[in-house]
Amino acid sequence: MQESTVTAIQAIQAILAPALGISAVGLLLLGLTNRYSNIVTRIRLMNDEKRRYTQQLADEGELNYTDNVRMMSIRKQAEGLLLRSRFVRNAILSLQISIGLFVLSSVSIAINLFTSTGLLQAIPLIVFIIGMVTLFVGVVYSAREIHYSYHIVLLEVRGEE
């Protein structure tokens, strides 16, 4: 009886081990979705500002110098923000895939506890490693976005000078 209790505890521990990865990735996703939301909001605000300048251009036929500089700055920043949003989107998708793979590795560990064939024993490890690779890909996309965000800030600062 004691042996089955220890085996059950070990089984639960083995099945829940990838859940640590799920929790860690969940925290990363929380920050990334917030960042993605901020980028999308910024793009919408810039598009609204660009529409106002376009309407002003249609009504008056031209823009003054500062409005023209701002319009060009908005165009450059919008392009950069779209690229940033693509990086963040890819990071989010990669992290979501890694969560799915971590869940799948937990399930495959549980299945492996009841059926111990040679091929099935390797599946949990393979799925977990693929999950870690997709996690790494997501982190790389996130790092690229962070690196590129500095360039967008420079565009805004230099466009206002």
pLDDT tens digit sequence for 97-125? 999 999 999 888 888 877 767 777 888 88
Structural domain tally of the chain?
A: 1
What domain range is 31 assigned to? Answer: 18-160
Q: Are 100 and 21 contacting, i.e. CB atoms less than 8 angstroms apart? A: no
Residue 103, token pair as written in the block: 């869940």
Q: What is the pLDDT of residue 65?
A: 86
Region 44-56: mean pLDDT is 91
Asked whether residue 8 is assigned to any structural domain, the reply reads no
Region 131-154: mean pLDDT is 92
Q: Is the pLDDT of residue 1 over 60?
A: no
Asked whether residue 130 is assigned to any structural domain, the reply reads yes
d(CA 19, CA 93): 18
Burial of 75 (0-12, 13-18, 19+ CB in 10 A): middle
Asked whether residue 3 is assigned to any structural domain, the reply reads no
Q: What is the pLDDT of residue 113?
A: 79
Region 15-20: mean pLDDT is 81
Which phi-psi region, left, alpha or beta, contains residue 61 (left: φ > 0; alpha: ψ -120 to 50)? left
Q: Is the pLDDT of residue 150 over 80?
A: yes
Pairwise pLDDT comparison (35 vs 59), residue with the higher score: 35
Pairwise pLDDT comparison (161 vs 61), residue with the higher score: 61
Q: Is the pLDDT of residue 51 over 70?
A: yes
**DSSP-derived secondary structure for the chain:** -HHHHHHHHHHHHHHHTTHHHHHHHHHHHHHHHHHHHHHHHHHHHHHHHHHHHHHHHHHHSS--HHHHHHHHHHHHHHHHHHHHHHHHHHHHHHHHHHHHHHHHHHHHHHHHHH---HHHHHHHHHHHHHHHHHHHHHHHHHHHHHHHHHHHHHHHHHHH-
Q: Are 131 and 102 contacting, i.e. CB atoms less than 8 angstroms apart? A: yes
Asked whether residue 4 is assigned to any structural domain, the reply reads no
Residue 83, token pair as written in the block: 């690229």
Q: What is the pLDDT of residue 109?
A: 85
